[in-house]
Amino acid sequence: MLVKTKVLSVKQLHKKYRNVLAVDDISFDVGRSEIVGLLGPNGAGKTTTINMILGVLQPSSGTVLIEGVDVEANRSQALESTNFAAVYAPLPGNLTVYQNLRFFGLLYGVRNLTKRIDALLEQFEIKPFRDAKSGVLSSGEQTRLSLAKAMLNRPRLLLLDEPTASLDPAAAQDVRAKILEFVAQGTGGVLWTSHNMYEVEEVCDRVLFLSRGKIVLEGNPKTLAREHGKETLEELFITVAREPLTLGVG
């Protein structure tokens, strides 16, 4: 039986840029073998939150614990069990697929790296592009490469920032299947941002709606819309984006 221990614990995370409040005292957890959707309109604070979890942005206050390790105090140790893929962070286009995986595999201290890379090339169906420069791959192939890199160290916490944003529906479905496969292994949890509510409903166990830096709603994506008098999750998303006060939140 899989025990849903916490892989990520975010406590009262707060980020302010001069006069702009980007993230306002948010707290949430991600359990092992759980996919949590972090939803919200553009500028809601999703990417800021992910950057703070990754240790590339210092919170104004609050803590981020990955498997109980404080990211700010023990950055390297915390990041050993973390990885990410984001549409805005493609891998260097001047390295080949293999070179990118080898380079990042070494940075993450992956054991039996050659074998691991071969397995990921197969799993993400990018073996034919092994020696192609990453920059010449299609969007879908680059996304699969980013995901392969994100899986290199068998992360306990996987952060995915709009991983299917540039993909056609068939490619997006393949990517979702890979992520579900990863979660089914029961070793890690996923924090997933997406603007595709159909996708969120399909893959997420739980969703958090962010608006103006605050978590305004939380719940099961399959029932949350009806709980708030909406037909679909998309309708609920639009309401959160435009009129959060009408939901009695924000």
Residues 216-245 that bind other proteins (CB under 8 A): none
21 is a site residue for other proteins (CB under 8 A): no
Number of residues in the chain: 250
- Taking CB under 8 A as the criterion, the residue among 106, 119, 177, 180 binding other proteins is 106
Rounded to 5°, angle at Cα 208 from 205 and 214: 170
DSSP state of 29: E
Q: Pattern 137-156, binding to other proteins, x per CB under 8 A?
A: ------------x-------
55 is a site residue for other proteins (CB under 8 A): yes
56 is a site residue for other proteins (CB under 8 A): yes
94 is a site residue for other proteins (CB under 8 A): yes
HSE-up of residue 201 (Cα within 13 Å, Cβ side): 14
Query: CA 85 to CA 100: how far, in whole Å?
Result: 14
61 is a site residue for other proteins (CB under 8 A): no
* Burial label, 20 (beta-carbon count in 10 A; 0-12, 13-18, 19+): exposed
Is 134 or 196 the residue whose CB approaches other proteins more closely?
Answer: 134
79 is a site residue for other proteins (CB under 8 A): yes
DSSP 70-115: ETTTSHHHHHHTEEEEETT-PPPTTSBHHHHHHHHHHHTT-TTHHH
77 is a site residue for other proteins (CB under 8 A): yes
Q: Which stretch binds other proteins (CB under 8 A): 34-42, 89-97, 115-123, 179-187?
A: 89-97
Residues 157-186 that bind other proteins (CB under 8 A): none
Tokens of 152: 């290199």
Is 78 or 126 the residue whose CB approaches other proteins more closely?
Answer: 78
Query: CA 94 to CA 20: how far, in whole Å?
Result: 36
Collapsing DSSP to helix, strand or coil, 133 comes out as strand
Query: CA 38 to CA 245: how far, in whole Å?
Result: 19
- Taking CB under 8 A as the criterion, the residue among 5, 61, 76, 246 binding other proteins is 76
68 is a site residue for other proteins (CB under 8 A): no
Is 79 or 207 the residue whose CB approaches other proteins more closely?
Answer: 79
103 is a site residue for other proteins (CB under 8 A): yes
Which spans of this chain sit near other proteins (rule: CB under 8 A)? 17, 47-48, 51, 54-58, 75-77, 79-80, 82, 84, 86, 88-96, 99, 102-104, 106-109, 149
